[in-house]
Amino acid sequence: GAVVSQHPSWVICKSGTSVKIECRSLDFQATTMFWYRQFPKQSLMLMATSNEGSKATYEQGVEKDKFLINHASLTLSTLTVTSAHPEDSSFYICSATGLDYSYNEQFFGPGTRLTVL
């Protein structure tokens, strides 16, 4: 089956710093990747959709300048949280889909726990 990894699995940073989270498709070409945010015991909130080689499409209310998404290759997308603040602390999950998979089945990464002090 398709495997998606995320790195790091957890990160603690100081307020005002930037943090980069990587999402990789290990055994397939991910033409589209999705970034989600999840608060404790809550559902996933879609932040943005990124297609390889083009700019990400952000959901309403998500600051594109704060959450920078890059999908430069068919196996890697990155989410950079710029000038992080404590309210950015959350669980960030990516998912990926590719042309090899019917009905755009999504494969999820294990998530990254971000804590901003």
Partner 1 sequence: AQSVAQPEDQVNVAEGNPLTVKCTYSVSGNPYLFWYVQYPNRGLQFLLKYITGDNLVKGSYGFEAEFNKSQTSFHLKKPSALVSDSALYFCAVRQGGNAGKSTFGDGTTLTVKP
Binding site for partner 1 (CB under 8 A): 4, 6, 31-32, 34, 41-44, 46, 49, 51, 91, 93, 95, 97, 102-111, 113
DSSP sequence for the chain: ---EEEE-SEEEE-TT--EEEEEEESSS--SEEEEEEE-TTS-EEEEEEEETTSPPEEPTT--TTTEEEEEEETTEEEEEE-S--GGG-EEEEEEEE-TTSGGG--EE---EEEEE-
In the complex, minimum distance from the CB of residue 21 to partner 1, in angstroms, rounded to a whole number = 13
98 touches 77 (CB < 8 A): no
In the complex, minimum distance from the CB of residue 52 to partner 1, in angstroms, rounded to a whole number = 11
In the complex, minimum distance from the CB of residue 93 to partner 1, in angstroms, rounded to a whole number = 5
Q: Which is nearer to partner 1, 24 or 109 (CB)?
A: 109
Q: Which is nearer to partner 1, 16 or 53 (CB)?
A: 53
Q: Which is nearer to partner 1, 39 or 85 (CB)?
A: 39
Q: Which is nearer to partner 1, 17 or 39 (CB)?
A: 39
